[in-house]
Amino acid sequence: MPDVNELLDTYRVDVAHARQVADLALELFDAVVERYELLPAQRRLLEIGALLHNVGMTTDPPEHHLVGRDIVLNEGIEQLSPRERAIVACMVAFHRKKVRPQLEPAYLALGRRGQRDALRLSAILRVADGLDYSQSQTTRLLAVTPADDGLMLTLSGPCAAEDGARAIAKADLWQKVFGEPLYARVEGTETLAPPPSGAPDAAAADEAEGGGAVAPPAPGTPEEPAADEAEEVALLKPWYAAPEAPLAELGRVLLRRHLRRLRLAEREVRADAPIESVHDLRVATRRLRATLRLLTPVFTPGGLRASSKGLGRLAGVAGPVRDRDVLLADLEERAPTLPAGVQPAVAALIERLREERSTAFTALIAFLESDAYAAFLRDFATLMNEHDGWDNHPRVRDLAGSTIWRHYEILRAHDRSGLPADAEELHAMRIDGKRLRYVLEFFAETLGSHADEVIKPLMAFQDHLGVLNDISVARHILAPHADDPQTGPAVTAYLAQREQQAAHLGADLPARWEKLSGAAYRRKLATCLVSLG
C-alpha cells in the first residue's frame, strides 16, 4: 500500500501548495478544536486530506476534485482505515465547487458520525485552500479571534487580501456546519467582510480559477516561458482507463460517476423541473444497471443482484412518468394539426394524461423519499467505494474485446434475412442495441478516439428505433381511452398520424441498419478491439 508521500510523487502534486494548505488547515484546526469540540484524532485526517486535495489535478484539472476522490478510494493508503479513506475522499471531493453532500457516493456510504466528521473537516480544508488561492505560499494566519457573531482571521503577506477574500468566499460550508461566519482582515487594514447574502458562492470562483489555477498575473508581471507552460499542462492518462487496469477499478469509477448523475437528476425531479429530468434519471438508472451487468465476472457471485433489483424498482416507478411526458409533448405539438372537430376530445385527452402523469409522479416522489430507497443508496454506495468482494485481477484488456464482440453478435442476430417487423421484436433489438452502446461507452476512455466512430452510428440507429418504440408505447397508453366518447375521437385521429410516421420510419430502417451490419462498421469495431493491445 502506498503512503501519502508516494501518492504526491506519483501524481506530481504541487507539494509546496499542498504543504501550505495543510499547515494552514492545521492552524485553523488547533484554533477551533475546543470551540467546536473537535476530536484530536481528526487532526491527522485533516492533514492527509489537505495534502491530497489536488491529487487529481494532473489527470483532469476541470474535474480534479472527483478524480482525486477516485484516487483516494482506489489506493489502499497505508495510514488510513476504510472509513478514514472515505472521509478523506469526501474532503477531496468537497474542497471546491458548491458542496452538495447527498450527491457524493463516498459521503452516502458513511454513517451519521462519519458524515458529520467529513463535513467539518471539509469546511476547514476549503478555507485553508482559499488562504493560498494565490498559490504563492506567502499568506500567514496570525490569529483566529472571536468577532461579534463569528470568528476573525487576521492575515499577513503580500497576497493576503486576495487570499483572505477567497477564503471567506469558501467559508459557506464553515458557516453551515459550525453555525457562525468567518471574517478576515489583513493586519493593519480594514476587515474583509464575507460575501453578502445572495452573492455568488465559491462555486463561481472555482469555475473562474479553473479548479485551482494561479490567478492571472498583475499588469507588468513577466509571463512564464512557453516551454514551462507546456510542461505545466502535461496530463497523466487516467489510471482506470489503461488496458492493464483492473476491470473492477474501471467499474467502480464509472459506478460513482453514474450514481452522482442519478442523484443530480433526482434533485431536478423532486423540484418537478423540465421533463428531461425524469429522462436523465432513467438514463442514469440504465447506465448503472448496464455497468453492474458488465462487472458480474469480477464480483462475488450473486453479490450485485440486490443493487440491480433496487435500480430496477426505481426504473419501474420512473417509467410511467417518462412515458406520459413523451406522449404529452408529442400530442400537444401535433394538436393544432388534428381536425377541428376533434379539438374538444384532444383537450379532454390531454387533461386525462396529465392526471395520469400526476399520479405516477406522486408515486415516484414517494419512492425517492422512502426509507427503503435511502437504505438502498447507502448499500449501493458502500459497494462501489470499498474493495471487499471485488476481484481486482482480471484486466480491462482481458475482457473488453470479447464482451464488445459478443454484444455486437447478439444485436446482429436480430437480422434473420431481414429485420423483424413485430413491434416487440424491434423493441428487443433496441434494448440489445442499447446494451452494445453501454458496453462501448463503458470502455470508451480505453478505446480512445476509435470509440466515437462506432458509437455514433449505433446511437442514430437506436434513436430511430426509439421513436418506433414511443409509438408502440403511445398505443398502449391510449388504449383505455380509445372507446371513451369524450376522448376516443382524439385517440383515433392522433394514432392515425403516428401510424403514418411509423410506416416512414420502418421504410428507412434497413438503410440505417446497413450502417451497423456492413463490413465497414465491422472493420471499425475490429480496430477498436485491436487498440486494447
Specify whether the CB–CB gap between 396 and 244 falls below 8 A.
Answer: yes
Say if CB 180 and CB 147 are below 8 A apart.
no
Q: Which phi and psi (to 5°) does residue 249 adopt?
A: -70, -45
Q: What angle do CA 429, 259, 212 make, to 5 degrees?
A: 125
Sign of CA dihedral 21, 22, 23, 29: positive
In whole angstroms, what is the distance from residue 311 CA to residue 304 CA?
Answer: 11
Per the model's pLDDT, the better-predicted residue between 273 and 430 turns out to be 430
The 3 state secondary structure assigned to 394-410 is CEHHHHHHHHHHHHHHH
| Length of the chain counted residue by residue | 533
Nearest to 235 by CA among 64, 95, 82, 401: 64
CA angle 154, 156, 157 (to 5 degrees): 155
Beta bridge partners of 246: 395
Domain boundaries, the chain: 4-195, 242-530
CB 164 within 8 A of CB 184: yes
Query: Hey, is 482 helix, strand or coil?
Result: coil
Confidence of residue 206 (pLDDT cuts 50, 70, 90): low
Q: Which of 15-24, 237-246, 418-427, 518-527 has the highest mean pLDDT?
A: 15-24
* Residue-wise pLDDT tens digits, 96-128: 999 999 999 999 999 999 999 999 999 999 999
> How far is it, in rounded angstroms, from Cα 449 to Cα 396?
17
Classified as helix, coil or strand, 41 is coil
Q: Give the cell for residue 165.
A: 477574500
Is the pLDDT confidence value at 198 over 50? no
Q: At 250, is the secondary structure helix, strand, or coil? A: helix
CB 161 within 8 A of CB 186: yes
CA distance 17 to 135: 6
pLDDT-wise least confident of 86-95, 284-293, 421-430: 421-430
**Separation of alpha carbons 345 and 352, rounded Å:** 10
What average pLDDT does this structure show over 218-230? 36
Task: Give the tens place of pLDDT for each residue, 182-191.
Answer: 999 999 887 7
What is the identity of the amino acid at 56?
G
Residues 439-461, mean pLDDT to the nearest whole number = 92
Alpha-carbon distance of 342 to 485, in angstroms, equals 11
Looking at the predicted structure, is the pLDDT value of residue 386 above 80?
A: yes
Strands in 140-146's sheet, in edge-to-edge order, are 140-146, 151-156, 182-186, 191-192
**Confidence (pLDDT) at 197:** 52
- Residue 148: the pLDDT is 83
User: Which residues have a Cβ under 8 Å from the Cβ of 253 and sit 6 or more positions away?
Assistant: 70, 74, 240
Q: Which residue did the predictor score with more confidence, 204 or 244?
A: 244
Mean pLDDT computed over 58-74: 95
Helix, strand, coil percent content, the chain, rounded in steps of 5: 70, 5, 25
Residue 529 CB burial class (10 angstroms; 0-12, 13-18, ≥19): middle
- Of all helices (H) and strands (E), which one includes residue 146? strand 140-146
- Of the candidate CATH numbers 1.20.120.610, 3.40.30.10, 3.40.50.800, 1.40.20.10, the domain formed by 242-530 belongs to 1.40.20.10
Nearest to 31 by CA among 163, 151, 202, 158: 151
Cα distance between residue 110 and residue 118, in whole Å: 9
Q: What is the pLDDT of residue 260?
A: 96
Per-residue pLDDT at 189: 85
Band (pLDDT 50/70/90 cuts) for residue 75 is confident
Residue with cell 382524439: 490
Do the first three CATH levels of 4-195 and 242-530 match, i.e. the same topology?
A: no
Helix, strand or coil, per DSSP, at residue 467:
helix
- Please give the full DSSP string across 336-373, using - where no structure is assigned: GGS-GGGHHHHHHHHHHHHHHHHHHHHHHHHHHTSHHH
Question: In the 8-state DSSP scheme, what is residue 242?
Answer: S
- Residue 296's CB: how many other CB atoms inside 10 A? 14
Report the C-alpha gap between 11 and 59 in whole angstroms: 8
The residue among 437 and 220 whose pLDDT is bigger is 437
Mean pLDDT score across all residues of the chain: 90
Asked if pLDDT for residue 216 goes beyond 50, the answer is no
pLDDT at 212: 37
Say yes or no to pLDDT of 143 above 90. yes
The tens digit of pLDDT for each residue in 335-377 reads 999 999 999 999 999 999 999 999 999 999 999 999 999 999 9
* pLDDT band (50, 70, 90) for residue 234: confident
**Matching CATH number, 4-195, of 1.10.10.60, 1.10.3210.10, 3.40.50.620, 1.10.10.10:** 1.10.3210.10
Please name which of 179, 182, 147 lies closest in space to residue 165, comparing C-alpha atoms.
Answer: 182
DSSP for residue 422:
S
Angle subtended at Cα 144 by Cα 141 and Cα 148, rounded to the nearest 5 degrees:
140
Q: Which amino acid is at 319?
A: G
Query: 3-state class of 151 per DSSP?
Result: strand
